[in-house]
Amino acid sequence: MRFILFLIIIAGLAGVPTRQADAQQNDRRQIEALMAAQTSAWNRGDVDAFMQTYWHSDSLLFIGKNGVTYGWQATLDRYKKSYPDTAAMGKLDFKLLEFKLLAKDVYFVVGKWHLQRSIGDLQGHFSLTLRRIDRTWKIIADHSS
């Protein structure tokens, strides 16, 4: 009887890492979907929809080549000023390189971005901090170069 109880306990413990791995895979799929939604919105020329993936807060942090921008509205305004039309926006492509779970409901993601544009291509790397807020992943910090 003790042996059977021991096997049941071991079998239960063996499932814990699997559940954690499954949860992380699910998180990754959701974050990949968020990035796909960003790409789709950008490629339609819809900066407002693109910004829906960001945390709508004055605490949003964006770091780019011109320095630090604080807040959702300021980040939206910066995007609209930097990319005033679809020619400037071009076609966006992301390559997601690394996902790191920092804490429950917080990920650090590293990737590459590329804009194919008739006025000259742009490309660089980014790091994002994402947090699950009300069951939805949101970018809370973006460092793009």
- At 4 the pLDDT is 55
Global pTM reads: 0.84
Name the nearest CA neighbour of 85 among 121, 124, 44. 44
Report how far residue 3's alpha carbon sits from residue 15's, in angstroms, rounded to the nearest whole number.
19
What are the pLDDT digits (tens) for 38-82? 999 999 999 999 999 999 999 999 999 989 999 999 999 999 999
User: How would you class 31 by CB atoms within 10 Å of its CB: exposed for 0-12, middle for 13-18, buried for 19 or more?
Assistant: buried
CATH fold of 31-144, please? Nuclear Transport Factor 2; Chain: A, (3.10.450)
